Structure 1
Amino acid sequence: MQTPSPSQLPTNAMPVVWQWLLGAAAVVIILAGLKAISHIVTPFLLAAFLAIICAPPLGWMQRRGVPGALSILILFSAVGLLFFLLFLALKGAAESLATQAPMYQAKLSGWLDQLRLLIEARGLPDDLIPKGLPLPGAGALTDTAKSVASGLGQFTASTLLVLLAFMFLLMEEGTLSGKLNAAFPARRRARVRARRFLRSVYRYLLIKTAASAATGLIVGISLTIIGVDFAVLWGILAGLLNFIPTIGSIIAAFPAVLIALLGLGVGEAVIVLVMYVAVNTVIGNVLEPRFMGRSLGLSPLIVLVSLLIWGWVFGPIGMILSIPLTMIAKLALDASPQTRWAGIMMSDEVRKPKT
């Protein structure tokens, strides 16, 4: 048997290199296309996530004899009411922030001046002490808060599109099993993998959404009891950012701790910080893994890359949904033996592939 010469080896390796390059180029083109039409894709993306989260309750109602149309109407009404209450709470918090922002900024500026004088009294050279921090003016903060409040009112117009898409996706959910059977009539293993993937997605998003809702509710109630201003706003922020591991919890805690420090004092700020740490530790490190049944974590590098990519493509909503989107991709990779290696590389721990 003739042994191939060394000059032939690069030629044999070229197709693999070109496949990777073409695959990377295709990913870049797809992401750029999604960014160009993000204003169209984002409402349907939100509707898809809502439909996935509501699929288990929909199946539960139908198994107990509730007619399909009535169960869809119940979920549609519940989600619509939730959207209305959420936007109403956010608008009220933003308007309250618009009126109280100058007071908090003046208090923060006074603290910074006292700190500068204290450091100056210790003998530090004047040229090493900044005369002030580049904080936005009180008028700029007020205008920003007012624009946020008005923007929330305008955003409710696109909510109708999200709810309509959500309703139609729920109607499609009932025929999904039949479509899988029709699409893969002779490929039982492919149908099993598709169903396993869908169950994993349903379970992950349902548990993660429940954990995020519990986080936001506990944080909002706790801050209200402590007496921190804008407690509803910080509770909603904590619930939304709970989808982002570690980084989201830090970002959510910072403004609430700062407002507690400025408005109430050091003791209350420490209590708020301890409360955030306790809530995120119990829910994120104890309850979520227990209900998930196994680790579904992502590598910290993958989390950072996901935030950057999906934030660039879909903006702030993409950053909030970045981890669920990446987790769905990871579950899809785990469902196939050919791509399971990629799912393992995205994980936050070393685990053996399934046999």
Structure 2
Amino acid sequence: MADGSEVAGATARSGTRAPPSDRPDIRTVLLALIALVVIGWGLRATGAVVIPLVSSILIALAVMPVRDRVRDRMPDKLKWLGVTSAMALILLVVALFFGALWLAAQQVIAEFPSGEEIAQMLPQDGSEDEASGGDTAPALPLSLPGDGAEAGAEAFSDGEGSGLEGMLSGSGGDLASRMASGMASVLGSVATTVLNSAVGLGSALVIIFFFTLLILIESGDWRRKIATITHPRDEWRLTESAEVIAQKIRAYLLIRAALGVITAALYGLWLWFFGAGLILVWVILTFLLNFIPTVGSIIAGLLPVIYVFMTQDIGTAVAVGLGILVIEQVMGNYVDPKVEGKRVSVSPLVVLVGLLAWSWIWGIPGALLAVPVTVALVVLGAHVPVLRPWALLLSDRTDMKGLKDATRPD
């Protein structure tokens, strides 16, 4: 009887086993980590193609409401105005961006002295002679050892003047000309680097522009293709995922732009109060770096403080730094969470880790795309059952119900 009861108990226990859990085991975790590393290397190797494509998709999702609103109000023959208006908005934003950069560059150029001004600040030929009543001191020659070197040694030991003083006074014009030519060479190399970077940026923007244009034109056709080749349930998941991603990216960009404008204005006013230079440069940098989480705010705060320290004094630099610290604390710890709230739905720790990972993969473009791409991964994972546990780990929610509520359309 005991054996039968044990068997029955074992059967009962086996019959009441817990339902299968969605939690991945350790082997799945390790395989997923290896897959992430391989995918990261692949994305890094194909960055020249993937970066413009991903940027175009995100930009298209952001401006699609403009296209749809204009297109819905137009007759059939003028439906093309929807895409035209969306692309015009993109061009307007790009024009404002480059216009601001041009103004900032003009301020930087005006702030620093030119080569001629530097040459005028250096001692010129005969300036020291006139000041000393016309007496000249022999200069130390720069030739190799020989007769000239011996003459230079005699001149150096001459009682009429020091050889070092003669070198400084007699060759002041030569030194000025060498300094001017050296600065011209440095400026030429910098200009070449800037020109190459501008050409590369311009090429990337052209590619992104046409990618975005084609996506806006063919988005409806691709939706119908996906509906044809997929199961209705899968098609619904993809459609809802795209809608949620578009909503979250638009909200993120608008919030970051608004907070960037406010933060940049506060920076500019505080720096203007202390008489700092290059205010327009710091305002533009603050606005742009606002789109890079955490690290962008640190860089935007440190650069003007270092500049004030170098151009004014340490007391003013400390005062500027304290004011910027207060601005960042208020904007980052109070205003930002209140305004942005749960719209992004990504853990702050994941945002920072994602920033480092995407920066390693794609560099500066990866830092700018880190949050939108991570948000897209969370939304896509939440709509695929096998990826839902991973989406929960990346999100700021603690249960599946919260994840589902955070990744559904508004």
The alignment's TM-score, normalised by the length of structure 2, stands at: 0.60
For 1:294, the equivalent position in structure 2 comes to 342
Cα distance in 1 between the residues matched to 2:188 and 2:277: 17
- Summarize deviations over 1:319-355 as a string: whole Å, max 9, x none: 3332333233233334445534333323456466336
Kept in 2, the 8 Å contact 1:96–1:230? The answer is no
Classify 1:320/1:77 alpha carbon distance in 2 versus 1 (closer, same or farther; 3 Å). Answer: closer
Q: Which amino acid aligns with 1:54?
A: V
For 2:250, the equivalent position in structure 1 comes to 202
| 3-state SS of paired residue (1:353) | helix
The structural deviation recorded for 1:71 is 0.5
Q: Verify: 1:88 aligned to 2:102, yes or no.
A: yes
The structural deviation recorded for 1:199 is 2.1
The structural deviation recorded for 1:88 is 2.0
Cα distance in 1 between the residues matched to 2:330 and 2:69: 28
Q: Which amino acid aligns with 2:328?
A: N
The structural deviation recorded for 1:78 is 0.7
Classify 1:97/1:313 alpha carbon distance in 2 versus 1 (closer, same or farther; 3 Å). Answer: farther
The structural deviation recorded for 1:252 is 1.5
Kept in 2, the 8 Å contact 1:80–1:163? The answer is no
The structural deviation recorded for 1:57 is 3.9
For 1:155, the equivalent position in structure 2 comes to 197
The number of residue pairs the alignment matches comes to: 309
Kept in 1, the 8 Å contact 2:244–2:379? The answer is no
Classify 1:24/1:156 alpha carbon distance in 2 versus 1 (closer, same or farther; 3 Å). Answer: same
**If you compute each CA radius of gyration, which structure gives the higher value, 1 or 2?**
2
Give the % identical residues.
27
Classify 1:220/1:327 alpha carbon distance in 2 versus 1 (closer, same or farther; 3 Å). Answer: farther
Q: What does residue range 107-146 of structure 1 map to in structure 2 within 5 Å?
A: none
* Greater shift in the superposed pair: 69-78 or 215-224: 215-224
The alignment's TM-score, normalised by the length of structure 1, stands at: 0.68
Cα distance in 1 between the residues matched to 2:313 and 2:342: 41
Q: What does residue range 160-171 of structure 1 map to in structure 2 within 5 Å?
A: 160-171=203-214
For 1:346, the equivalent position in structure 2 comes to 394
Q: Verify: 1:179 aligned to 2:222, yes or no.
A: yes
| 3-state SS of paired residue (1:312) | helix
The structural deviation recorded for 1:256 is 0.8
The structural deviation recorded for 1:228 is 1.7
Q: Verify: 1:215 aligned to 2:252, yes or no.
A: no
| 3-state SS of paired residue (1:302) | helix
Q: Which runs of 5+ in 1 are unaligned?
A: 4-14, 104-138
| 3-state SS of paired residue (1:321) | helix
Instruction: Give 1:245's match in structure 2, choosing from 289, 293, 306.
Output: 293
Q: Which amino acid aligns with 1:156?
A: A
- Summarize deviations over 1:198-242 as a string: whole Å, max 9, x none: 322332233224433443354345534543222233223222322
Cα distance in 2 between the residues matched to 1:304 and 1:145: 36
For 1:276, the equivalent position in structure 2 comes to 324
Cα distance in 1 between the residues matched to 2:326 and 2:58: 28
| 3-state SS of paired residue (2:344) | coil
For 2:41, the equivalent position in structure 1 comes to 32
